[in-house]
């Protein structure tokens, strides 16, 4: 099964030539070209979700707005309907009141949430849970508390139950929030294939390899339970100097059960 994590950069950003309308087809083309079974997107606005639905008609989508009224379906998840069916799905907010829509805590600059879908392989019956999230970009206390909350949530499942956690964590391998994930039993899928050394930045501001950033990889796909990683890639695809987003996407191949 192939899973991608894609921070697609939000629709309303003042990105000039890199605005969504200019890169939408490229973004969809890159995703289609990798032939994923599950796609976890971050920073999704309604307009982009509609484009994803139209451009990827073979996928079902699960997305919940971040705020009770007028919010955006920021952490949209798509799964290939010919192969996978959803047996459960839910969303909770990364705050001290996770059941309250639109809640935030720990000086988080933005409302942050986690969306998850439990997916069953229609042919084999194998089941796994995929969680999609985006940690805060300003408050370090919020990042750490949000990571701990995600770990507590995952621990409700049996140790062997296959789980994946994808998202923009706004922190590289040196960040204590990433340490909190590891303490909770999450394993970096990229490191499973390429070793523990940080491969370098995944946020590049539409500059690709020309970007200069002290941060390393801030986009992650973690695994927990009976998940075997067989391939992992940072997606650097571009066309005529244009990139599908201001982040590189991630792609991992896994076997579960």
DSSP 85: E
Residue 214 pLDDT level (bands cut at 50, 70, 90): confident
Helix (H), strand (E) at residue 224: strand 219-224
CA distances from 28 to 1, 24, 35, 165 (A): 19, 6, 11, 22
What's the CA gap between 32 and 35, in Å, rounded? 5
The tokens of 177 are what? Answer: 């929030």
34-65, pLDDT tens digit by residue? 999 999 999 999 999 999 999 999 999 999 99
pTM of the model: 0.97
103-117, pLDDT tens digit by residue? 999 999 999 999 999
Bridge partners of 114, per DSSP, are 92, 133
Bridge partners of 129, per DSSP, are 118, 163
Q: Percentage of the chain with pLDDT > 90? A: 97
- Give me the CATH topology for the region 2-256: Deoxyribonuclease I; Chain A (3.60.10)
Q: What are the phi and psi torsion angles at 254 (to 5°)?
A: -135, 155
144-194, pLDDT tens digit by residue? 999 999 999 999 999 999 999 999 999 999 999 999 999 999 999 999 999
Q: Which residues lie closer than 8 Å to 89 by C-beta, 6 or more apart?
A: 62, 115, 116, 117, 118
Per-residue pLDDT at 213 exceeds 80? no
What's the CA gap between 39 and 24, in Å, rounded? 16
What's the CA gap between 201 and 172, in Å, rounded? 8
DSSP 227: E
The tokens of 47 are what? Answer: 């307009």
What's the CA gap between 224 and 182, in Å, rounded? 10
């Amino acid at each position: 099964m192939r899973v991608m994590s894609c921070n697609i950069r939000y629709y309303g950003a003042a990105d000039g030539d890199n605005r969504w309308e200019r890169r939408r087809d490229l973004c969809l083309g890159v995703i289609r070209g990798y032939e994923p079974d599950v796609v976890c997107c971050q920073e999704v606005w309604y307009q982009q979700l509609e484009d994803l639905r139209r451009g990827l008609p073979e996928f079902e989508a699960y997305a919940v707005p971040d705020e009770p009224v007028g919010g955006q379906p920021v952490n949209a998840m798509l799964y290939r309907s010919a192969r996978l069916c959803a047996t459960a799905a839910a969303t909770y907010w990364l705050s001290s009141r996770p059941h309250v829509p639109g809640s935030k805590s720990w000086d988080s600059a933005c409302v942050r949430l986690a969306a998850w879908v439990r997916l069953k392989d229609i042919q084999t019956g194998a089941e796994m849970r995929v969680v999609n999230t985006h940690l805060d970009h300003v408050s370090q206390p919020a990042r750490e508390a949000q990571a701990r909350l995600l770990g507590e949530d995952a621990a409700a499942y049996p140790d062997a139950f296959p789980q994946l956690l994808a998202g923009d964590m706004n922190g590289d391998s040196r960040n204590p929030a990433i340490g909190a994930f590891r303490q909770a039993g999450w394993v970096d899928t990229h490191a499973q294939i390429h070793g523990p050394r940080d491969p370098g930045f995944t946020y590049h501001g539409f500059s690709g390899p020309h970007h200069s950033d002290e941060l390393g990889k801030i986009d992650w796909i973690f695994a927990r339970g009976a998940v075997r990683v067989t391939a992992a890639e940072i997606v650097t695809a571009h066309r005529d100097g244009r990139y599908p987003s201001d982040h590189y996407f991630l792609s991992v191949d896994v076997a579960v059960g």
